[in-house]
């Protein structure tokens, strides 16, 4: 379900008013959606008019249905008896997102004659090549595998009418700009372009300017405002005691599902192992994990067999993890915006969520930055038996003073973003 902000801002327009066909309305109905989300309300009519769009929307806003539904409508209106050709290409930055988008396309297209498939790296290409050969209308792909299979002539992009760049900002973050440009060069000149991005950096604007034609700007509510719906709390605790405190919180709160963020891949692995030792079923998800391990962890978490998912920021962004009651920051992120992304994983679909941050004295400066960004003071306390040891803080301060005197010494807050 999409984020609470989206729900609170609905003016109860119905899907019927968006100009969607009956088989699509039936699929929406089957999904149980009562009303379109704001991004759907804005984007669907514009896409149906065959205009390019530049949409600011993140995961949780319902953006996938926002582009999938009108694409399905356009493609079914024009489909004939001829052999299937790839008429829409949806590019995503990660394998997980590609798989999720394909699932949505499959769900929404169940009553229309449209076929889709998904291709991404890290797995055997043969089954993907086979399903491409069978003929598809919509291809969901990550850039690298798409270029690979194109080079092997396993697919043709000569008939693409609608291109979607999903999470374009992440694609650029992940270094896909050159691949995107190579892909754009393989597409027909005349086509409709839909660009979705959570942020609009200079690079995104440049990219958008390079291939969108008179785009209509479509904006969903920024995720920042969801923060108000989430109960946030800070527990001050020394780093070395965080795991024990976490185990206590999970056990005593009887939490059935919790998403935990760590700052590093290593930290995610370590924590997951410690939780397992404490008989708490857990899995880690981060960039060093194989595709199989990531898919397994995520599906285990969705089904409920994995109780705790430990993730890094990059791994978690873009994942659709519905209705999460608890999000824990095992460490605070050094980039304040990441805090908002992280806690946006809870408090969805009208349910209240809880976001707890375990903060040691080194992290207090990050906490202040986050409070500045959200404009809220987060209630802070400590749990009996886990109060921070003032002696440790004094010792660390002395250590810091010593290193600060050395030339070229870097403050603790300047480390690079490494995950
Ligand atoms: P997305 O932002 O596309 O990743 O979608 C986030 C979640 O919202 C997914 O689980 C969708 O199934 C759900 N969703 C999409 N559209 C609606 C809607 N109109 N009403 C309720 N939930 C929706």
Q: Is the pLDDT of residue 182 over 80?
A: yes
Domain boundary among 219, 252, 281: 219
Ligand 1 closest atom vs CA 34: 20
Question: d(Cα 286, Cα 265) in Å, to the nearest integer?
Answer: 6
393 three-state secondary structure = helix
Tokens standing for residue 237: 């605790």
Q: Is the pLDDT of residue 406 over 60?
A: no
Question: d(Cα 392, Cα 202) in Å, to the nearest integer?
Answer: 43
Q: What is the CATH number of the domain that holds 105?
A: 3.40.50.300
Q: CA neighbours within 13 Å on the CB side: how many for 235?
A: 23
Domain annotation covers residue 395: no
For the chain, give the number of residues. 419
* pLDDT given at position 413: 35
Domain annotation covers residue 403: no
Residue nearest to atom 23 of ligand 1 (CA): 1
Mean pLDDT of 143-149: 97
Question: d(Cα 376, Cα 257) in Å, to the nearest integer?
Answer: 26
Kindly report the pTM of this predicted structure. Answer: 0.62
Rounded to the nearest angstrom, the distance between the alpha carbon of 204 and the centre of ligand 1 is: 25
First to last CA, the chain: 28
Q: Is 353 in the pocket of ligand 1 (CB under 6 A)?
A: no
Closest CA to 363 of 323, 290, 415, 326: 415
Rounded to the nearest angstrom, the distance between the alpha carbon of 339 and the centre of ligand 1 is: 22
Residues 170 and 243 in one domain: no
For 240, residues 6+ apart whose C-beta sits below 8 A from its C-beta are none
Q: Is the pLDDT of residue 10 over 60?
A: no
Residues 165 and 289 in one domain: no
Tokens standing for residue 246: 């976490």
Domain annotation covers residue 344: yes
Residues 189 and 307 in one domain: no
Domain annotation covers residue 23: yes
Q: CA neighbours within 13 Å on the CB side: how many for 107?
A: 15
Closest CA to 71 of 89, 93, 98: 89
Q: Position of tokens 């597409």?
A: 187
Tens digit of each residue's pLDDT (9 = 90 or more) over 73-115: 999 997 666 789 999 999 999 998 999 999 999 999 999 999 9
Q: Is 193 in the pocket of ligand 1 (CB under 6 A)?
A: no
Domain annotation covers residue 236: yes
Q: Is the pLDDT of residue 224 over 50?
A: no
Q: Hey, which residues does 327 pair with through a beta bridge?
A: 259, 355
Number of domains in the chain: 2
Ligand 1 closest atom vs CA 58: 2
Q: Is the pLDDT of residue 404 over 80?
A: no
Which range marks the domain in which residue 116 is found?
Answer: 5-219
Residues 122 and 269 in one domain: no
Q: Is 320 in the pocket of ligand 1 (CB under 6 A)?
A: yes
Q: Is 58 in the pocket of ligand 1 (CB under 6 A)?
A: no
* pLDDT given at position 203: 87
Tens digit of each residue's pLDDT (9 = 90 or more) over 32-78: 888 888 899 999 999 999 999 999 887 778 899 999 999 999 999 97
Domain annotation covers residue 399: no
Residues 170 and 315 in one domain: no
Residues 208 and 301 in one domain: no
Residue nearest to atom 19 of ligand 1 (CA): 36
Q: Is the pLDDT of residue 418 over 50?
A: no
Residues 243 and 193 in one domain: no
Q: Is 67 in the pocket of ligand 1 (CB under 6 A)?
A: no
DSSP readout, 81-139? SSPP---EEEE-SSHHHHHHHHHHHHHHTTTSS--EEEE-SSS-SHHHHHHHHT--SEE
Domain annotation covers residue 113: yes
Residues 320 and 269 in one domain: yes
Domain annotation covers residue 415: no
Q: Please give the residue that has the higher pLDDT: either 178 or 400.
A: 178
Mutate which of 64, 68, 198, 351 to test ligand 1's pocket (most atoms within 8 Å of Cβ)? Answer: 64
For 129, residues 6+ apart whose C-beta sits below 8 A from its C-beta are 149, 152, 154
Rounded to the nearest angstrom, the distance between the alpha carbon of 320 and the centre of ligand 1 is: 9
Ligand 1 closest atom vs CA 322: 10
Q: Is 341 in the pocket of ligand 1 (CB under 6 A)?
A: no
Residues 250 and 181 in one domain: no
Residues 101 and 162 in one domain: yes
Q: Is 37 in the pocket of ligand 1 (CB under 6 A)?
A: yes
Residue 269 burial (10 A CB sphere; 0-12, 13-18, 19+): middle
Residue nearest to atom 18 of ligand 1 (CA): 33
Ligand 1 closest atom vs CA 63: 3
């Amino acid at each position: 379900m999409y984020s609470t902000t989206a729900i609170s801002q609905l003016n109860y327009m119905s899907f019927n008013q968006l100009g969607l066909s009956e088989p699509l309305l039936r699929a929406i109905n089957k999904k149980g959606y009562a009303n379109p989300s704001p991004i759907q309300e804005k984007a669907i009519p514009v896409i149906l008019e065959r205009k390019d769009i530049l949409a600011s929307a993140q995961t949780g806003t319902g953006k996938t249905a926002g582009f999938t539904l009108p694409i399905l409508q356009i493609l079914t209106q024009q489909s004939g008896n001829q052999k299937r050709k790839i008429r829409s290409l949806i590019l995503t930055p990660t394998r997980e997102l590609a798989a999720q988008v394909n699932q949505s396309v499959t769900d929404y297209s169940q009553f229309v004659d449209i076929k889709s498939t998904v291709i991404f790296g890290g797995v055997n290409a043969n089954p993907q090549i086979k399903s491409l050969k069978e003929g598809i209308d919509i291809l969901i792909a990550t850039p690298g595998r798409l270029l690979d299979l194109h080079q092997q002539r396993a697919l043709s992009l000569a008939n693409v009418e609608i291109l979607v760049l999903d999470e374009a900002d992440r694609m650029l973050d992940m270094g896909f700009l050159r691949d995107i440009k190579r892909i754009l060069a393989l597409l027909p000149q005349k086509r409709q372009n839909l660009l979705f991005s959570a942020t609009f950096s200079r690079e995104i604007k440049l990219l958008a300017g390079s291939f969108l034609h008179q785009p209509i700007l479509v904006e969903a509510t920024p995720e920042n405002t969801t923060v108000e719906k989430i109960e946030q709390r800070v527990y001050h605790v020394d780093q070395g005691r965080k795991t024990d405190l976490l185990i206590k919180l999970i056990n005593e709160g009887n939490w059935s599902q919790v998403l935990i963020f760590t700052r590093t891949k290593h930290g995610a692995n370590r924590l997951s192992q410690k939780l397992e030792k404490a008989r708490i079923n857990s899995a880690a998800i981060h960039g060093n994990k194989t595709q199989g391990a990531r898919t397994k962890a995520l599906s285990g978490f969705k089904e409920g067999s994995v109780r705790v998912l430990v993730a890094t920021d990059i791994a978690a962004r873009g994942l659709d993890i519905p209705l999460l009651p608890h999000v824990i920051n095992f460490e605070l992120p050094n980039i304040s915006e990441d805090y908002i992304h992280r806690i946006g994983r809870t408090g969805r679909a009208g349910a209240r969520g809880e976001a707890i941050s375990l903060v040691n004295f080194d992290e207090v400066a990050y906490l202040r930055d986050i409070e500045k960004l959200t404009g809220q003071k987060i209630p802070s306390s400590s749990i009996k038996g886990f109060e921070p040891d003032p002696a440790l803080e004094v010792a660390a301060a002395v250590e810091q003073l010593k290193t600060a005197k050395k030339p070229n010494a870097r403050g603790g807050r300047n480390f690079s973003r490494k995950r």
